[in-house]
Chain A
Amino acid sequence: MQLSEHDISLQRLFAENRELIEKDAAPGVNAAREGAMEAFSKLGIPSSKVEAYKYTNLQAWFKAGYTQAYGLNGATSEALKQFECNVHELDSYTLFTVNGKFVAGSNVEALPDGVEAGSFAELSKKYPELLKRYYGSLAKVEEDGFVALNTLFATDGIFIYVPKGKVVEKPIQVVNVLTGEQDLMVNQRNLIVVEEQAQARVLFCDHTMSMSRFVVNTVTEGHVAESAMLDFYNLQNQHNGTVQVGAYHFDQAARSLLNANYFTLHTGVARNNIFSRLGGPHAENHISGLYVIDKNQHVDNFSFINHAVPDCESNELFKGVMDDASTGAFTGRILVAPDAQRTNAYQSNNNLLLTENAKMNTRPQLEIYADDVKCSHGATVGQLDENAMFYLRARGISKEEANILLMYAFAYEVIEKIQVPALKEQIRELVEKRFRGELDKCDSCVVCGQLGTGRAKSE
């Protein structure tokens, strides 16, 4: 295909800054840039003509001309002073990234022996064998222009390593902060490795702290080894000048368990690429999402569950509440390989449209090549239940309050999926605030205590 002017500007940007980008990166990370360069020259940033990006055209945003995160010097402790991070409300190990760069947090030294959670730039150098084995093994540059772009520019992010048999009970909370006076592009790279029989709970909180435009392209690869468990949560609460593409690629070995939950409570344009490969028998995953959007916000959850072997189970539940002229998309691709017998795969996507201008595109895509499988999928787009509404009002509850109760009732099923009780309670509160329209008025995020940026300028 022909590259766009923007794509060429990004190629040139890389060529001109390659030395700076590669200066502090691990050799393995730099080596991967060759393939990324070649892939990007073929793919570029996908237009909406690319089937997977049909409902979200991101080409306009991804171009040179923004300040680039790799060129920033951190400037981090200053930025974090604004943080009234009441993180101990949620008893967790806390890490930060500021504009994609790692910043030390608190309590991390208390992690169990041998467990690492820190800078991708540092730890990828400390663990070259892990990097070699896992880096780019799931997020393949030749399959998506955004992965190629990220691999080209990646310098830092988060690296989490939970060695065999280690159990990290408390959540590892990663607060991703975007800030600064200039419009900014960030290519953050994260790697999570959970080895055999190990367990970890990881929470990514994505926030904006200034009103600049942020164009974000994050890639996270997560490996869940045999009989291991990973609980992964992503909470997005960003102003509506944010454009974020988040790729989350998971690979699961036999008898492993993955719970991945995506909460998009406020954003500008959000695209989640959620890939999960069930690669060993009796692996199981539960992938869910809740998006609550209004104004002109846009959320596109694209998921691909790959049942590569027999006897696995996947459960997928995405729900959306959409107000004003917000738009959304959901793609649920499920692939059951020819010999993946006794597969159980369940998927549903339910949407509540509060206005006539809100719009949702939902498409289940099941490809089943085995014959002994149980698969189901369902997609609904609807309005609030009028009978329930009348029932509540007949008890003296105002229309507004009944609305909030019913929206919450619609969403609660996803919140119920949260495995960490304290986190569940905090996200529940946050969602309720969102429904009350109090989220951007609230002083801080109840989960990590981050100060709000106020109502963003409308797009």
Chain B
Amino acid sequence: MLKIRNLHAKIEGKEILRGIDLDVKAGEIHAIMGPNGSGKSTLASVLAGNEAFEVVEGSVEFNGKDLLDLSPEDRAREGFFLSFQYPVEIPGVSMTNFMRTALNEQKKYRGEAALSASDFLKLMRDRKQLVDIDSDLTNRSVNEGFSGGEKKKNEIFQMAMLDPKLAILDETDSGLDIDALRIVANGVNKLRRPDNATILITHYQRLLDHIVPDFVHVLYKGKIVKSAGKELAYELEKNGYDWIKQEME
């Protein structure tokens, strides 16, 4: 589904990603861990098409297409989803209007008919239950005045609405209390299917107690320096990153 080869990216002249290789297949869940500043969020932003970052080398193939060649909106329409670490507040744009526009533009791209108003509302209701999001929130402007936890739940709600093939959750667990974490994790688990895939970017093991990854990667100084099964996450939780840093230097 996703093939990243030798990906290098810069922001303001500073190289953050220094040769990433990663393969994600349908049905898999990957976790990317790593110390602060290792490039985890940069990787997510580059894949989503954030123009603040400049890709200087490498390739990314997504379901046979050159992902880097697509606009951010076309990446989303091809089935790519980023759960933002810091969801943006947009006063004046209602959640309903936002989701209806996004969903229908994606459908249009795929040559499908737009949802009728009643089907759309039905889908909203259904997906709201999945992530246990307050009905009230979807009547408000996008993320405006939402608590940190509500914003993260809202990201998973959008993921549920748009039903992507590949979702990257960028520190979706940070700032969540244990109940919210469970709700978010439940949502992700329920959306899991043999034909989609998820990449979790996280600092902490605790999310991985709820969403069990098939692979765990450690990103350090812009490169994946270690990949293993879920047991790697426990090891990191116990011993921190220092032993990896020592191995590297």
Shortest Cβ distance from residue B89 to the other chain A in the assembled complex, whole angstroms: 8
- How far apart are the CA atoms of A317 and B116 in the complex, in Å? 37
A397 at interface by CB-CB < 8 Å: yes
With contacts A396-B162, A399-B73, A405-B101 known, is A413 near B88, CB below 8 A?
no
- Give per-residue flags for B84-111: 1 if the beta carbon is below 8 A from chain A beta carbons, else 0: 1001101111000110011101100100
A408 at interface by CB-CB < 8 Å: yes
A458 at interface by CB-CB < 8 Å: no
Which listed residue (B88, B103, B109) contacts A391, Cβ 8 A?
B88
Which listed residue (A391, A393, A401, A411) contacts B90, Cβ 8 A?
A391
Q: Which A residues are in CB contact (< 8 Å) with B31? A: none
B72 at interface by CB-CB < 8 Å: yes
Task: Indicate if the CB atoms of B84 and A391 lie closer than 8 Å.
Answer: yes
Which listed residue (B72, B75, B97) contacts A405, Cβ 8 A?
B97
Task: Indicate if the CB atoms of A397 and B93 lie closer than 8 Å.
Answer: no
Most buried by B among A388, A397, A399: A397
With contacts A394-B76, A396-B102, A405-B101 known, is A388 near B90, CB below 8 A?
yes
- How far apart are the CA atoms of A387 and B142 in the complex, in Å? 13
Task: Indicate if the CB atoms of B76 and A395 lie closer than 8 Å.
Answer: yes
Most buried by A among B97, B101, B103: B101
Interface residues of A in 400-429 (CB under 8 A from B): 401, 405-406, 408-413
- Give per-residue flags for A375-387: 1 if the beta carbon is below 8 A from chain B beta carbons, else 0: 0000000000101
Q: How many residues of B contact A (CB 8 A)?
A: 30
B158 at interface by CB-CB < 8 Å: yes
Task: Indicate if the CB atoms of B92 and A393 lie closer than 8 Å.
Answer: no
Which listed residue (B75, B91, B98) contacts A392, Cβ 8 A?
B98
- How far apart are the CA atoms of A197 and B105 in the complex, in Å? 51
Interface residues of B in 40-88 (CB under 8 A from A): 48-51, 71-73, 75-77, 82, 84, 87-88
Which listed residue (A387, A395, A398, A409) contacts B91, Cβ 8 A?
A409
A127 at interface by CB-CB < 8 Å: no
With contacts A401-B101, A405-B98 known, is A394 near B48, CB below 8 A?
yes
Q: Which A residues are in CB contact (< 8 Å) with B98? A: 392, 395, 397, 405
A369 at interface by CB-CB < 8 Å: no
With contacts A391-B84, A405-B101 known, is A397 near B90, CB below 8 A?
no
Q: Which A residues are in CB contact (< 8 Å) with B76? A: 393-396
- How far apart are the CA atoms of A394 and B50 in the complex, in Å? 9
Task: Indicate if the CB atoms of B87 and A391 lie closer than 8 Å.
Answer: yes
Task: Indicate if the CB atoms of B102 and A397 lie closer than 8 Å.
Answer: yes
- How far apart are the CA atoms of A391 and B71 in the complex, in Å? 13
Q: Which A residues are in CB contact (< 8 Å) with B87? A: 391
Task: Indicate if the CB atoms of A395 and B93 lie closer than 8 Å.
Answer: no
- How far apart are the CA atoms of A399 and B77 in the complex, in Å? 13
Task: Indicate if the CB atoms of B88 and A393 lie closer than 8 Å.
Answer: no
- How far apart are the CA atoms of A410 and B75 in the complex, in Å? 27
Q: Which A residues are in CB contact (< 8 Å) with B71? A: 393, 399
- Give per-residue flags for B6-24: 1 if the beta carbon is below 8 A from chain A beta carbons, else 0: 0000000000000000000
- Give per-residue flags for A238-263: 1 if the beta carbon is below 8 A from chain B beta carbons, else 0: 00000000000000000000000000
Task: Indicate if the CB atoms of A397 and B48 lie closer than 8 Å.
Answer: no
Shortest Cβ distance from residue B114 to the other chain A in the assembled complex, whole angstroms: 13
Task: Indicate if the CB atoms of B72 and A390 lie closer than 8 Å.
Answer: yes
Which listed residue (A388, A397, A399, A408) contacts B88, Cβ 8 A?
A388
Task: Indicate if the CB atoms of A406 and B90 lie closer than 8 Å.
Answer: yes
- How far apart are the CA atoms of A411 and B109 in the complex, in Å? 29
- Give per-residue flags for B192-217: 1 if the beta carbon is below 8 A from chain A beta carbons, else 0: 00000000000000000000000000
- How far apart are the CA atoms of A406 and B97 in the complex, in Å? 12
- How far apart are the CA atoms of A163 and B224 in the complex, in Å? 79
5 nearest A-B pairs in the assembled complex, by CB-CB distance: A409-B92, A396-B76, A412-B92, A395-B102, A393-B72
- A-B pairs with beta carbons under 8 Å apart, 17 shown: A385-B88, A390-B51, A390-B72, A391-B84, A392-B93, A393-B72, A394-B72, A396-B77, A396-B103, A396-B105, A399-B71, A401-B105, A405-B93, A405-B98, A409-B90, A409-B92, A409-B93
List 17 extra interface pairs beyond A394-B76, A396-B106, CB under 8 A: A388-B88, A390-B88, A391-B90, A391-B142, A392-B98, A392-B102, A393-B73, A394-B72, A395-B162, A396-B105, A398-B73, A399-B73, A401-B105, A408-B92, A409-B91, A409-B92, A411-B92
Q: Using a CB–CB distance below 8 Å, which chain A residues touch chain B? A: 385, 387-388, 390-399, 401, 405-406, 408-413
